[in-house]
Amino acid sequence: MEKALDRLLRYVKIDTQSKEGADTTPSTEKQFNLAKLLVKELKEIGVKDVSIDEHCYVYASIPSNIPKDHPAYGIVPAVGFVAHVDTSPDVTGENVKPQVIENYQGGDIILPGDENVVILESENKGLAECIGHTIVTTDGTTLLGSDDKSGIAAIMVVAETLMNRKDILHGDFKIAFTPDEEIGQGTKFFDIPKFGAKYAYTLDGELPGELNKETFSANSAIIHITGRDIHPGTAKNIMVNSIRAAADIIARTPKDMAPETTEDYQPYIHPHILEGTVGKTTIKFLFRDFDTNGLDLQKKMLENIIKTVQPMHPKAKIELEIIEMYRNMREKLDENPLVLECLWEAAQKAGAKPYWKPIRGGTDGSRLTEMGLPTPNIYNGGQNFHSKTEWVSINALNLAIETVLNLVQIWVEKSK
């Protein structure tokens, strides 16, 4: 059977970067390149129920192999596993050159494509847990795409294992690969009835042991500022510079609510895209709070900033648009304790020393849980997502695979 490392190295070389603001799903046609490959590979390992739709969602199913005389026959719920094919718009995913470091022995990792890009041991506490591991990085000129091609590789290895190991008893094993997760649109056209799972798990996490049952609740905010452009030589009392208004707005966002000054359960307001000319400027903000009610407070905060700035630029038109993204999955997952108990036990059995940690971000599972499909998140060994210093431990990835194999068997045991 093909190893996770081999699959990961193949998948990360396929550019699947998604794009903010696109009016199509997927947001980039190139995401089909990986999705279609996955369909082909699933069929090659013997999975018969495989499909891909016009929006780049891949669905597959491996039927239960529980014998009729087994106490759990007919009562094990269908359990699904989900990963996303796209990579972040923040850093290029084109021409990825993965670097494999065998038997990592500690210290900083200087990346060969740009020696100014260094994975610092002091900034990466997880490296101390990976002494002796095989680590994959980029060459320093692109992101790696472990987020979430490590998750894809893990699911594919598990699928191949189940097709070849008839001694591993499991219920219906459902697979889904989604587009556009990185731009908050991963579940936009997700067909839960077609998927067919009662419970699901995303493999979109970090180092072993970390399990996730809660995420931020998230909205995005867009401020549109309309000014008036004219030649600067004749601009007096005529020009209205929308860029200056944008600067005044950004300067008034609270510095103690920035991503770079917050951690754990602290919320943040994050201006992450600024596009502007004198005549028109757009600022895109991320609102994040584990308490969904906090999103309304962040909206009011931004509205008050606009009220302060508007008189400073009376001829500018300043408009605020709020877009709902996803919600904290904690409440609905707590209503389904078995999906969490099985995951915890599977991680323990794999030797991962599990603990629950809130995600300062979101997964497809956030929205799927809200849509009625309880979907906590499992580690896949990655770190430093969305950056040129992204890396993944293959030993940790293999532990994620072991955890999933434990998980499907535990569901059988719990259903007797």
Q: Please list the active-site residues.
A: 86, 181
The tokens for 115 are 């020696």
Q: What is the DSSP letter of 122?
A: T
Residue 26, preceding bond cis, omega within 30 degrees? Answer: yes
Q: Using an 8 Å Cβ cutoff, are 344 and 288 in contact?
A: no
Residue 110's DSSP bridge partners are 118
Pairing state between β 382-383 and 391-393: antiparallel
Q: Which long-range contacts (CB under 8 A, 24 or more apart) does 187-192 make?
A: 187/364, 187/367, 187/368, 187/371, 188/25, 188/55, 189/25, 189/53, 189/55, 189/57, 190/57, 190/364, 190/367, 190/368, 190/371, 191/53, 191/57, 191/59, 192/368, 192/371, 192/372, 192/373
b (16+ CB within 10 A) / e for 237-275? eebbbbbbbbbbbeeebeeebeeeebeeeebbbbbebee
User: Within 10 A of 52 (CB to CB), how many other CB atoms are there?
Assistant: 16
Torsion of CA 41, 65, 205, 119, to 10 degrees: -50
* Phi-psi group of 253: left, alpha or beta (phi > 0 → left; psi -120 to 50 → alpha; rest → beta): beta
Under 8 Å between Cβ of 138 and 113: yes
The pairs formed by 259-268 with CB atoms below 8 angstroms and a separation of 24 or more are 263/360, 264/358, 264/360, 265/290, 265/358, 267/216, 267/291, 267/294, 267/298
Q: Name beta bridge partners: 390.
A: none
DSSP state at residue 77: P
